[in-house]
Each structure stands twice: as structure tokens, then as C-alpha cells.
Amino acid sequence: MVVFTMKKNISKNKNKTTIKEKKEEIIKKEPKTSCSKEGCFVRDNFWKITSIILLLLVVVAGVLLLTENRNQLPVNETLECSSNVGQETKNFLTTNFQLPTLDLISSVTSNDLCLHTFQVEGQDLEIYTSLNGEVVFIPGLEPINKSEINLEGNETQTPQEIPKTEKPVVELFVMSHCPYGTQVEKGILPAVDVLKDSIDFEIKFVNYAMHDLLEVEEQLLQYCIQEEFNDKYNEYLYCFLEDGDTQRCLDKLEITRDSLDACITETDTKYDIMSSYEDKSSWVNGRFPKFLIHNEDNLKYGVQGSPTLVINGTVIESNRDPQSLLNTICSGFETLPRACNEVLSSQSPTPGFGFTETAGTTNTATCG
């Protein structure tokens, strides 16, 4: 019994020693600390906290930098009309449209355009332009870009020598919707009426169009009216120049579109008119479709724009009133016919559609 008891006690003592030793080993492995709960959290999460602080510093620095740069950027100001654009628009209108007693009342900015109010013979006239005045929007006309027209002013013309023939050949190159082309057409038709068959007169078209598909289609149609109904063409032109209403004029002269279809199709195919319109890579300066029906004559005379007047093979400049145009044509006769003694209006037609006139002098503005 004694022996058993001693073994049992010895076994317990061994177990107690082993547990104590293990506890001491664990305690030795754990680092000693005297930190508080909060202090231990900071120590154990030091790199996380440091990273957050650095990130906040970067964000704050970025905001300060952006704020500083923004303060240095110029403030976007509201776009307004140029100070002199109103007066320039007035000069443009009086020079090229020969409007009498045109007074500038005001110029204000409206919807990113300049709205100019003028007074013409007691009536208010509102004209819009671009903010720099380069594009002019006139009611009833296509927008006029000053950079695309040749404005030479009303200068005294140098007398030109026109070769004389028994029957002068008169060729007028125009674009159907160019306001300056229509101006000369209105001026020359009365002269053609009195000269009748004593001259060989023909309207031809500039080899590019500036007024898009509307002009391309109208010129193709007018060419075929000349081909199929030549005796009605001048009458059609008189009608068209009133308001540009093609269908009204066809109906008035009892010309059906069906009667022109064959000519239009054949001409279109021959000169690649519509295919040239659709192929924008072929457009002149990338902006204007080609119209090549009279291209050979355009190249022959060096036609640059609408209108261009050619008499007996010579490019001629003339005032645009009927009397001046009659006199200019008559200077191409070897023997003057009696019709050259006719007295016509000395008032110039206004550009664009409509048969209004003005007592102003000529101008040499062109589209092109």
C-alpha cells in the first residue's frame, strides 16, 4: 500500500511540473506589455492608420491644388456681338442691297447671334448675323457668308473693249439661287426682250453649286427647259425670279415634270450630276458639289463665280440695271440695231428674289 501511494503521488507531481513548465514557456513566448487597451489598438494597427492619414493628406493637397488652379483659369464670359458688327452690317446691306435711308437702331445678342434692328423708310427691319458679322441672315435668302462672296464695292468701272460682231453672243453664268446671279438675271431680261433675235443669248451655270441640292435640282431642271421648251424659258425665268417657286412656274407655263424627265435623266447620267452631289469627296474645296453641264465654257472663260457675263467671248463687267446691260450688250454690235435706242430702267434690281428696284448705283458682288 505504501509503495502504491508513493507512485501515485509521484505521478501527480510529475503532471503538475509539466503543466507549470508549459505555462512558463507560453509566458516567455508572449511579449510583455504595459499598454492600455487604446494604446495597444494604435500599436497593433499602426500601418493601417498611417496609410489612412497619408491618403487623407493626398486628397487634401489635391483639392487645394485644384482650387488654386481653378482660381487661375480665365472666367468664361458670355459671348456678345462685336462692337462694330452693327455698322459693318449696315454698310454691307447698303452697298450690296442698295437699301435707301437705312438707319441702325440697335444691335443685341440673341441666341448666340447678333440681332440688328434697322429702320428703312419708317419700317423696322430685323437682320441676324453671326457674332462676328461674317454670316448674314436675310429673310427670303440663303445665309450669306462674306468669305464666300466677292465684294468689290461700287467702284467706277474701267471701260472694256468688246469684240464686235453682227450678232453678239451673250452668255450669263449664274447659280440659280445666288442673290447676285438673280439680280443680274432680272436686270438683263428686259434688255434681251428688246434685242430679241438680234443677239444669241443663253443662261449657263457655274461649274459648282453653293446652295446645296435645291440649286443642283433647279439648274438641272432649267437646263432641260432650255433644251425642251426654249421658247418658254425666259418666261419661266421671269416667274421663277419672283419668288423661287419652281412648281408654280411650271404650272403657269403648262410644263409637266414628266415632259422633262427623259432630258433630266439623260443629262444627269452624262454629267454625273447627282452622283457628284452624293460623292462629297469630289466637292470643290470639300464644300460645294460640282455641276459640270457647262464646265468646258467655265474653264474656257475662267469663270470664278455667279454672275459672270461674257459677250463675244470676253468676260465683261457691267452695271446691273437694264439700261446699263442693254448698253453693254450693244457695244458688241458691228452695226447697232434700232433696239439699242430703247430706253429702259436705270434702277438696279435688288439681289435675291422679287422684282423690287432701287435708285442706287451698281455693285459687283458675286457668289464664289
The pLDDT tens digits of the residues spanning 322-359 come to: 999 999 999 999 999 999 999 999 999 999 999 987 76
CATH number of 169-367: 3.40.30.10
For 283, the grid coordinates are 466637292
Compute the average pLDDT of residues 241-253.
97
What pLDDT does 125 receive? 78
Mean pLDDT for the chain? 80
CA distance 363 to 202: 22
Q: Convert the pLDDT of each residue in 190-206 to its tens digit.
A: 999 999 999 999 999 99
Q: Which phi and psi angles does 134 have, rounded to 5°?
A: -75, -25
For 141, the grid coordinates are 435668302
Q: Convert the pLDDT of each residue in 9-42 to its tens digit.
A: 434 444 444 544 554 554 445 444 455 555 555 4
Q: Find cell 474656257 and name the residue.
A: 300
Model confidence band, residue 127 (pLDDT cutoffs 50, 70, 90): confident
What pLDDT does 220 receive? 98
For 232, the grid coordinates are 418658254
Helix axes 37-44, 46-72, angle to 10 degrees: 70
Neighbours of 175 (CB within 10 A): 27
Q: Is 219's pLDDT higher than 60?
A: yes
What pLDDT does 103 receive? 81
For 245, the grid coordinates are 417657286
Burial class, 269, CB count within 10 angstroms (exposed 0-12 / middle 13-18 / buried 19+): exposed
Spatial CA neighbour of 189 closest among 242, 229, 138: 242
DSSP 30: S
Spatial CA neighbour of 362 closest among 107, 175, 153, 83: 153
Burial class, 249, CB count within 10 angstroms (exposed 0-12 / middle 13-18 / buried 19+): buried
What pLDDT does 323 receive? 96
Q: Convert the pLDDT of each residue in 42-71 to its tens digit.
A: 455 555 555 565 555 544 454 454 444 444
Bridge partners, residue 299, by sequence: none
Spatial CA neighbour of 209 closest among 295, 118, 331, 89: 295
3-state secondary structure of 307: coil
Q: Is 167's pLDDT higher than 80?
A: yes
Q: Find cell 496609410 and name the residue.
A: 51
For 321, the grid coordinates are 440695271
Helix axes 258-271, 212-228, angle to 10 degrees: 110
Q: Which phi and psi angles does 204 have, rounded to 5°?
A: -125, 170
Q: How far apart are the first and last CA of the chain?
A: 135
Whole-model pTM: value is 0.64
